[in-house]
Amino acid sequence: MRADAASGSVVVVGSVNADLVVTVDRLPEPGETVTGGRFARGGGGKGANQAIAAARAGARVRFVGAVGRDDLGAAALDELRAEGVDVSAVAELEDEPTGVAIIAVDRDGANQIAVASGANARVDGALVGAAFAAGAPRAGDVCLLGFEVPDGAVVAAARAAAPTGARVVLNPAPARELPAALGGLGVLLTPNAIEARALTGEADPVAAARALAARTGAPVLVTVGAAGALLVDPGGAGEVELAAPRVDVVDTTGAGDAFNGVLAAGLATGQALEEAARAAVRAASRSVGVAGARG
């Protein structure tokens, strides 16, 4: 069921990839070859995965990004459209390939991922500006951002969305230094524990979340794998542990994307932050029970 007309929309500015997945008994050590794997190809990219998760959770979703004008790009756009995602703001580039992720998954669901960014590296402030000129986020909307596209796109989207009253959510994955230009925009950060440590130097997820909240002046959600998530909200709920249900793990690929997409959908449809975060934890837990980033 899609969101009703009174609800906000989710605008995702992020990456689109083709996922090439090999499932093996165990992950290889550096320099080692592990044989006997099973191969599958699917749609990926954190931004695209999050957009589909938000759409499945009931939100209206518009995607801003780029693909190559190639077979992988055409397939990626078809997959997004089939899920109800508006891809009218996705650029199709003649001189760049669609992004590709090479993923190895072991029998316990752990993974290793290497990404060739391709067209995603061309998602810049100008592309975002052109997309938002045709329809910028508004009050009640959620602008969901990620670090698989350059800082220019992230900053341009946040600066355009925040003054309108739209909620800006940044999944800082893969982790890199937060752009100083995001300061004062009230950006909700959603790192996992590894990313939170990289951003702050704090090994303890609670300490890392507190440090990030002090830096941004906004709530922070840190996902902590099978334990669920931690919410640090200095201006609201305080510090809350959000427990995850126990599940049998098949593949952890895309769990964070499911979390972020469902979180954004909940916020766009009027849920309070803690309520939306609890729903996001449940969605992420369900996602690891099946193979693939969008299962």
- Residues classed as catalytic: 257
Distance CA 210, CA 179 (A): 18
Measure Cα distances from 71 to 18, 39, 44, 99, 123 in Å.
10, 19, 14, 12, 19
- Edge-to-edge order in the sheet of strand 17-23: 38-44, 17-23, 99-105, 111-116
How many C-alpha atoms does 13 have within 13 Å on its Cβ side?
Answer: 35
Residue with tokens 């669901």: 109
Give the integer Cα–Cα distance in Å for 115 and 117: 6
Quote the CA–CA distance of 31 and 11 in Å, as a whole number: 41
CA distance 195 to 211: 13
**244 with 223: CB under 8 angstroms?**
no
DSSP-H helix ranges across the chain = 46-56, 71-82, 125-133, 151-161, 193-200, 205-216, 255-268, 273-287
Beta bridge partners of 13: 64, 145
DSSP 192: B
Task: Of 190, 234, 183, give the one whose Cα is nearest residue 210.
Answer: 234
Pair of tokens at residue 205 = 């997820």
